[in-house]
Amino acid sequence: MAAADTAGTSFSDAVSGSYDSDAQDLPPGVGPWKLAWRRLRRNKVALFFGFIFVLLVVVCLLAPVYAHDIAHTSPNAEAGLTATVKVGGKVKPVVNSIGIPIGPTWHAKYFFGADINGRDTAVRLLYGGRNSLEIGAVATIITMVLATFFGVLAGFYRGWWDAVITRFADVIWAYPAVLLGITLGTVFATGGIGPIHGTFLLAPAIVVGIVYIPYVLKPVRAQVLQLREREFIDAARQQGLSSTQIMFRELLPNISSTIVVFMPLILANAILLEAGLSYLGAGVQPPNPSWGTMIAEGLQPLPAAFSNVLVPGFMLVIAVMSVNIFGDGVRDALDPRAKVRIAR
Amino acid sequence: MIRFIVRRIVAAFFVMIAVTIITFLLLAATGNQAARLAGKNATQQQIHQIAAQYGLDKPIYVQYVKTMKNIFTGKAYSYTQNINVLQEVKHDYPATLSLAFGAGIIWLGLSVLFGTLAAVYAGRTTDRVLTILSMAGVSFPPFFLGAIFLYFLGYKLGWFPLGGYVGLSDPWQWFKHLVLPWITLSILFIGFYSRVLRSTILDNTNEDYVRTAHAKGLTDGQVLRRHTLRNSMIPIISLWGLDMGQLLGGAAILTDSVFNLQGVGQLAATAIANLDVITIMVIVILTAFAVVLLSAIVDILYAVLDPRIRLA
Amino acid sequence: MSEPAARSNGDAPLLTVDGLKVSFATEDGVVRAVDGVSFTVDPGEVVAIVGESGSGKSVTAMTLMGLTRGPNARFEGTATFDGIELVGASNAQLQRIRGPGIAMVFQDPMSSLDPVYRVGAQIVEQIRAHENVSKAQAMDRAVEMMERVGIPRAKQRLRSYPHEFSGGMRQRVMIAMALSCSPKLLLADEPTTALDVTIQAQILQEMRDLRQQTGAGVILVTHDLGVVADIADRVIVMYSGRVVEQGTLDDIFYNPQHPYTWGLLGSIPRIDDNRAEKLPAIPGLPPSVLRAPKGCHFRPRCPHAFDKCVEVPELERRQPDVPTSRDRCWLSVPDKKRLRVVGERIGLETTETVGA
């Protein structure tokens, strides 16, 4: 996604067309969600990558349960410069005399080797994944909740609400994602605002969550602006439903497919942006690992021990790619225009 | 047309002011800047001296106005390095310009090719392979991809230099230093753009005017080139303009950093790491300016590409 | 299938469609859009295909142009135009036919022209796709064509974009474009549906004049019997993918054989009608394209259906004294004559009525 390096002005456009489900196209008796699920079930590639992602999440989240029993070390335990490890009957130093750490041993201990501080890369990878995925998930929730809330508010009430919210979104929008991210991240890391401080692990989640709000807010608002002119909203109003009831009971279900389509997209980008921020030192703060910080640390002794860049890097790519491919499948499944047309 | 331009400039001005105010407030929130500038072992008196010297003891709005005034009169001196930030941006700009335009041309060309191929062969193997490749492309963070290129193609094989930027006065070295950054930055966008183009083409394939074009007896290639693709390029061009705007404003921070290109992006990263307020403000203004300028150009292009749109 | 309908002259027909079937595989099942359609068109003749939406009339027309081809489409039967079999024709063959052989005017003039090109360029593109003429020559021809279809100040309007035209003018551009390569057969798919009634009449007049001037055959696809009465020589009535009745204009309007045709005729409002307050509608809905009823497709909606109707009747000549008429209805001819009179005019006996 372009957003990893610029604001990726773009990705809302990629899906903006896909959520206007024309109900009249559907055969009677089958709801749009059921139909979408039926289509998704046929998309084996998307399901496969969805499974991969779930597997990654489980493996990383459960790291505290099993990692110690296998590798006998914790993510932040430094082995010390004299530590050794037995590989294939030979005793080798974890970090050699010129500071180059050991590469992958393919044994329970130091499976993926060690980093320059002699910490077990595989264990840090799992804990780092935990942090990266948690931050990505929390950031996505922040983005989706705030963007939906303010988007619905702006679209439904229009007038002043709309003007203020849209201007705010425009200002965030004019800021490239990475630039805004590192500014906010650095501010949190050095000074902190209120209770949010650099050592607070979810600080990057708040940063990333804020950055992506306009990308979801704009399409949600646009859709609500369209929906509020439709007959069923008038009907609801004439039945005496309050504005809150209309927003929750009538509007929200109608924009839910938009929200579902955006969720994986935002998740993938949130994980990427967190990695970028951590790489630049404005995300997760040491000694806590995340895939981004691990890549950054692995790059320090370049050209040696490149495995410390490749291992977290590919983990990150696999996670993001599986979310992207699964999300693409979800988008296809929810897009009624994927249907075969009788007349071209 | 003139009204359109005036309105654009006014809007740009307000966005820029808002962006600078927010940045300034955010940076002010990081705490006592004077203390940080004075260093770790500074006495209370030294801190006061520094605060007075940079005007940091004044109310925040006075500081803001003064900072903006300095920037627009060309007297923007960095607190930490004591050098003119505008000179620095000017020095770093060729690298940013080279990176943005080189990558922009590569990704636009290749994504049109891949997007069209995927749409023409929709549902078939070519499409599936291109889809997976696009998804992989958008999933690689540039700093990781850049590191892989540098390690294997630069360090191991020695085909490319290990980062840095060489000016256009030595075109061959300029090119050699930029090839990997161009590819790295392009891969991000190619995946995304080709997906957008593919779905736009598929949408437009169902349009009535495409059916008309077929009914006229044009070949499939003619219909694709003259009608489907021509209409599908409109959103792509606008995406391209907006992304170029950000890149020209120094948004390629990650690519800049990993290749040590010393462009505006890297300047921004360093400035933020040092909380160098003036430099950050200059770059933020530059970015807002570039984004607004490019989006105005995009709007004009839009009107050229799509005659239904009139600038008003 | 059935024997070709008798023709007014002895020449070979321009177009012969025989047993045409078109089906599409969709994710909800197979849609049998056209289920055995046969008819002919002679040079200079206007054949109207009438039916509700979903009856397969547009798919029939577009299939003749090869515009319904796609990975999910299946075709059976033949359509022979000018010695070339269209259903199995190669893309290259079709491309040569589209334009100078068969040209098409579509329903919605608003969306049928490419929004990003000037109308002149679009007509020129049509001409130059088939004739090796210079741009300037093609431009002159475009002006000539536009003038012929009644576009004022054609020379200036050539440089306008489609959105700068009204709907009626755009349809004229479409017609000018379709006629610019002097086609032998013009397919007009609901050419006036999207237009105002006054514009409609003008466009029909243009088409009538053009047929006289060029001698081209015309297939007019429409659901509007008023338009049919205005311009058609022969009429084909389609229902749910099948031809239920065909005949001359007089056969259909004064001696209709199929209950569905009676229903169509009965639902035309008439100025001379005394019962103006009530306008009968055909009861029920057209069958789903996915699950058509067994036997005669009209059976579920037909008040005269009887046990024989679960078998599909062939489209054949059933009145010995009317050589031009064919229909698919099991009722005997005397029964039909009796049952089709409702009140004092032709209609379908009905319990449902809608306010006029």
Each residue's pLDDT tens digit, B231-289: 998 888 888 888 898 888 888 888 998 898 889 988 988 888 777 878 888 888 888 77
Whether residue C58 lies within 8 A of chain A, CB to CB, comes out as yes
B151: which chain A residues are within 8 Å (Cβ-Cβ)? 302-303, 306, 309
CB C203 within 8 A of CB C216: no
- In the structure encoding, which two tokens stand for residue B268, read together? 């921004």
Q: To 10 degrees, the CA torsion angle through B144, B150, B152, B154?
A: 170
For residue A36, list chain C residues with Cβ-Cβ distance below 8 A.
none
CA distance A288 to A293: 8
Q: Could you tell me the pLDDT band of residue B130, with boundaries at 50, 70 and 90?
A: very high
CA-angle at A31, arms to A29 and A34, nearest 5°: 115
Where helices occur in C149-270 by DSSP H, the ranges are: 154-157, 167-179, 197-214, 225-231, 249-254, 259-266
Cβ neighbour number for residue A9 with a 10 Å cutoff: 26
| Chain B residue numbers touching A321 (CB-CB < 8 A) | 135-136, 139
Using a CB-CB cut-off of 8 Å, the residues of chain C touching B225 are none
CA proximity to A255, closest of A21, A23, A40: A21
CB contact under 8 A, A344 and C25: no
Mean pLDDT, residues B106-113 taken together = 95
What is the percent of chain A where pLDDT is above 70?
Answer: 72
pLDDT band at A18 (very low <50, low <70, confident <90, very high): very low
Tens-digit pLDDT profile for residues B10-25? 777 787 788 888 888 8
Residue C300 neighbours by CB distance under 10 Å: 17
Token pair 């860049």 is at which residue?
A309
CB contact, 8 Å: C70 with chain A? yes
Rounded Cα–Cα distance for residues C208 and C167 (Å): 20
Q: What is the mean pLDDT of residues B50-70?
A: 80
Interchain contact, C65 vs B212, CB within 8 Å: no
More confident residue, B306 or A303: B306
pLDDT of the residue at A4: 41
Helix A177-190 vs helix B2-28: angle between axes, to the nearest 10 degrees?
20
Q: Which of B29, B196, B251 has the CB atom closest to A176's CB atom?
A: B251
User: What sign does the dihedral C315-C321-C325-C328 (CA atoms) show?
Assistant: negative
From CA C248, how far away is CA A276, in angstroms rounded? 75
Q: Which chain A residues are Cβ-neighbours of B15 within 8 angstroms?
A: 170-171, 174
Residues 6+ apart with CB under 8 A from A82: A93
Q: Which of A99-103, A179-183, A297-301, B265-269 has the lowest mean pLDDT?
A: A99-103
Nearest to A343 among C25, C62, C289 (CB): C62
Residue among C27, C58, C59 whose CB faces A340 most closely: C27
Question: In whole angstroms, what is the distance from residue A222 CA to residue A156 CA?
Answer: 10
Cβ-based contacts of B182 with chain A (< 8 Å): none
Distance of CA B71 to the CA centre of its chain: 22
More confident residue, A29 or A96: A96
CB contact under 8 A, B217 and C97: yes
Over residues C259-273, the mean pLDDT reads 77
Q: How distant is the alpha carbon of residue A292 from its chain centre?
A: 13
pLDDT at C354 over 90: no
Structure confidence at residue C237 (pLDDT): 94
Instruction: Count Cβ atoms below 10 Å from residue B187 Cβ, excluding itself.
Output: 22
Cα–Cα dist B193/B112, whole Å:
8
Looking at every residue in chain C, the average pLDDT score rounds to 85
Cβ-in-10-Å burial (0-12, 13-18, 19+) of C34 comes to buried
Contacts of B29 in chain A (CB under 8 A): 187, 191, 193
Specify the pLDDT at position B145.
Answer: 92
User: Cβ of A344 and B280 within 8 Å?
Assistant: no
Residue B104, pLDDT score: 94
| Residue in C95, C111, C115 nearest the CB of B217 | C95
The DSSP symbol for C258 reads S
Q: Would you state the pLDDT for residue B31?
A: 63
Q: What is the DSSP string of B254-297?
A: HHHHHTT--SHHHHHHHHHHTT-HHHHHHHHHHHHHHHHHHHHH
Pick C8 or C211 by higher pLDDT.
Answer: C211
Cβ contacts (< 8 Å) between A339 and chain C: which residues? Answer: 26-27
Q: CB contacts < 8 Å between B and C, how many?
A: 71
Res A87: pLDDT = 66
User: Residue B40: how many CB atoms within 10 A of its CB?
Assistant: 6
- Nearest Cβ partner for A187 among B19, B30, B247: B30
With both helix axes pointing from N to C terminus, report the angle between B277-305 and B85-120 in degrees, rounded to the nearest 10.
Answer: 40
B217, C100: Cβ pair inside 8 Å?
yes
The pLDDT-based confidence of C102 (bands split at 50, 70, 90) is very high
Mutate to test the interface with B, among C67, C69, C95, C159 (most CBs of B within 10 A): C95
φ and ψ of C134, to 5 deg = -75, 165
Q: Is B230 on the interface with C (CB under 8 A)?
A: yes
Q: What is the pLDDT of residue A344?
A: 20
Give chains near C: 3+ CB pairs under 8 A.
A, B
Q: Which of A39, A340, A343 sits opposite C72 (nearest CB)?
A: A340
**CA–CA–CA angle A40, A52, A104 (5° rounding):** 160
In B7-39, which positions are buried (b, 16+ CB within 10 angstroms) versus exposed (e)?
Answer: ebeeebeebbebbbebbbebbbebeebbbbbbe
pLDDT at A114: 72
User: C246 vs A254, which has greater pLDDT?
Assistant: C246
CA distance A255 to A218: 12
CB neighbourhood size of C181 (10 A)? 22
**Residue B123 at interface with chain C, using a CB cutoff of 8 Å:** yes
Inter-chain CB proximity B249 and A310 less than 8 Å: no
| DSSP letters for B63-102 | HHHHHHHHHHTT--B-TTT-SBHHHHHHHHHHHHHHHHHH
In chain A, what residues touch B139 (CB-CB under 8 Å)?
1, 268, 272, 317, 320-321, 324
Reported as a pLDDT band with limits 50, 70 and 90, residue C280 is: low
The torsion angle over the Cα atoms of residues A29, A33, A39 and A40, rounded to 10 degrees, is -160
| A302 Cβ neighbours under 8 A, 6+ residues apart | A309, B147, B150, B151, B155
Q: Do B138 and A2 touch (CB under 8 A)?
A: yes
Selecting from C33, C67, C289 the residue whose C-beta is nearest the C-beta of A344 gives C67
Q: Which residues contact A176 (CB under 8 A, 6 or more apart)?
A: A6, A7, B246, B249, B250, B251, B253, B287, B291
Which residue in B204, C74, C27 sits closest to A338, CA to CA?
C27
Report whether pLDDT(A81) > 70.
no
pLDDT over 50 at B296, yes or no: yes
DSSP codes joined into one string, A272-305: HHHHHHHHTTSSSPTTS--HHHHHHHHHTTTTS-
Query: B216, C113: Cβ pair inside 8 Å?
Result: no
CB atoms under 10 Å from CB of B202, counted, come to 18
Mean pLDDT calculated for residue range A12-31: 43
Chain A to chain B Cβ contacts (< 8 Å) = 182
Residues of A in contact with C31 (CB under 8 A): 342
Task: Read off the pLDDT of residues B180-217 as tens digits, 9 standing for 90 and up.
Answer: 999 999 998 999 899 889 988 988 888 899 999 999 99
Contact (Cβ atoms closer than 8 angstroms) between residue A120 and residue A78: no
Report the residue from C65, C112, C116 with minimal CB separation from B230.
Answer: C116
Strand-pair partners of C102: C98, C185
Whether chain C has a CB inside 8 Å of the CB on B156: the answer is no
Q: Report d(CA C240, CA C54) in Å as an integer.
A: 7
Q: What is the model's pLDDT at position A223?
A: 86
Residue A254 pLDDT: 83
Q: Is the pLDDT at A9 greater than 50, yes or no?
A: no
Determine the pLDDT at residue B114. 95
A71 vs C160 pLDDT, higher one: C160
- The verdict on a CB contact (< 8 Å) between A343 and C28 is no
Structure tokens at B106: 């590569």
The percentage of residues in chain B with a pLDDT greater than 90, rounded to a whole number, is 26
Best mutation target among B21, B22, B153, B254 (most A Cβ atoms within 10 Å) is: B254
Of C113, C114, C129, the CB nearest to B217: C129
Cα B31 from Cα C93, distance rounded (Å): 77
Give the mean model confidence (pLDDT) for residues A110-123.
Answer: 74
Q: The dihedral of CA A313, B185, A202, A220: what is its sign? A: negative
Q: Exposed e or buried b for every residue in A46-84, given b needs 16+ CB within 10 A?
A: beebbebbeebbeebeebeeebeeebebebebbbeeeee
* pLDDT tens digit sequence for B143-181: 999 989 988 888 888 888 888 888 888 889 999 899 999
High-pLDDT (> 70) share of chain C, %: 91
| Cβ proximity of C239 and C313 under 8 Å | no
Cβ-Cβ contacts under 8 Å, B235 against chain A: 13
**Tokens for B207?**
């349009």
Q: What is the pLDDT of residue A22?
A: 37
Interface probe with A: pick from C23, C27, C221, C290, most Cβ of A within 10 Å: C27
What is the nearest CA distance from C99 to chain B, expressed in angstroms? 5
| DSSP conformation letters of A184-234 | HHHHHHHT-BTTB-TTSTTHHHHHHHHHTHHHHHHHHHHHHHHHTTSHHHH
Q: Hey, are the CB atoms on B239 and A176 less than 8 Å from each other? A: no
Rounded to an integer, the average pLDDT of A266-282 is 89
The mean-pLDDT minimum among A173-187, B212-226, C126-140 falls in A173-187
Q: Flag whether pLDDT at A67 surpasses 80.
A: no
Give residue for tokens 């409002």.
Answer: C269
Contact status of C120 with chain B (Cβ, < 8 Å): no
A309:B144 CB<8 A: yes
Cα A122 to Cα A125: distance, rounded to the nearest angstrom: 5
Q: Report residue A55's pLDDT band, with 50, 70 and 90 as the boundaries.
A: very high
Predicted local confidence at residue A149, as pLDDT: 93
What pLDDT band is residue C204 in, cutting at 50, 70 and 90?
confident
Q: Is the pLDDT of residue A6 over 60?
A: no
| Coil vs helix vs strand at A141 | helix
pLDDT at C272: 60
C291 touches chain A (CB under 8 A): no
- Specify the pLDDT at position A83: 67
Assigned token pair, B149: 């290129």
B231 Cβ under 8 Å from any chain C Cβ: yes
Are the CB atoms for A143 and A209 separated by under 8 Å?
yes
Q: Please give the mean pLDDT across all residues of chain A.
A: 77
Q: Inspect the interface and report whether the beta carbons of A343 and C68 lie closer than 8 Å.
A: yes
Which long-range contacts link C306-309 to residues 24+ away (Cβ below 8 Å)? C306/C330
Residue B270 confidence (pLDDT): 86
Please report which confidence band the pLDDT of residue A71 belongs to, taking 50, 70 and 90 as the band edges: low
Strands (E), chain A: 84-87, 90-93
Chain A environment of B26 (Cβ under 8 Å)? 183-184, 187
Partner-chain residue, chosen from B136, B139, B246, that has the shortest CB–CB distance to A176: B246
Which residues from chain C sit within 8 angstroms of residue B231, using beta carbons? 114-116
Task: Report pLDDT for B1.
Answer: 67
Which of B51-69 are b and which e, b meaning 16 or more Cβ less than 10 Å from the residue's Cβ?
Answer: beebebeeeeeebbeebbe
Contact state of A340 with C67 under an 8 Å Cβ cutoff: no
Does residue A1 surpass a pLDDT of 70? no
Q: What is the pLDDT of residue A2?
A: 40
pLDDT-based confidence at B218, cuts 50/70/90?
A: very high
HSE-up (13 A, CA, CB side) for residue B283 = 35
What is the token pair recorded at A332?
């296809």
Size of interface A-C (CB pairs under 8 A): 27
pLDDT mean over B41-59: 76
Question: CB–CB of C68 and A344 under 8 A?
Answer: yes
Coil vs helix vs strand at C260: helix
Element (H, E) at C246: strand C242-248
